[in-house]
Amino acid sequence: MVCTPAALPVAPLTETVLTWLRGALPDSAPASPEECRARRAFVSEMLERSPEAFAGGQDVATAMALFPDRF
């Protein structure tokens, strides 16, 4: 018996991941200009306050996970 990708049971895992992403990702509604300015100000303040905390991509990803509504 040959195991092809189509025969593998991926539907439950895919559905689980999609469900998690729907809850983890912010709404895709367009942001108002005020919201965009507030986000930019927040990021600028964080970078100015502690630039060493954002030295690499993993640091930025961690900050985005901690403040998902601000990035």
Q: What is the pLDDT of residues 27-66, one digit of tens each?
A: 566 678 898 888 889 888 988 998 888 888 888 888 888 8
Q: Is the dihedral of CA 11, 13, 16, 22 positive or negative?
A: negative
pLDDT value of position 22: 63
pLDDT value of position 56: 86
pLDDT above 70: residue 69: yes
Any alpha helices (H) in 1-71, and if so which ranges?
11-24, 33-49, 57-66
Q: Which two tokens stand for residue 57?
A: 């991509």
Q: Which residues of 28-42 are buried (b: 16+ CB within 10 A; e: fewer)?
A: eeeeeeeeeeeeeee
pLDDT above 80: residue 10: no
pLDDT value of position 18: 64
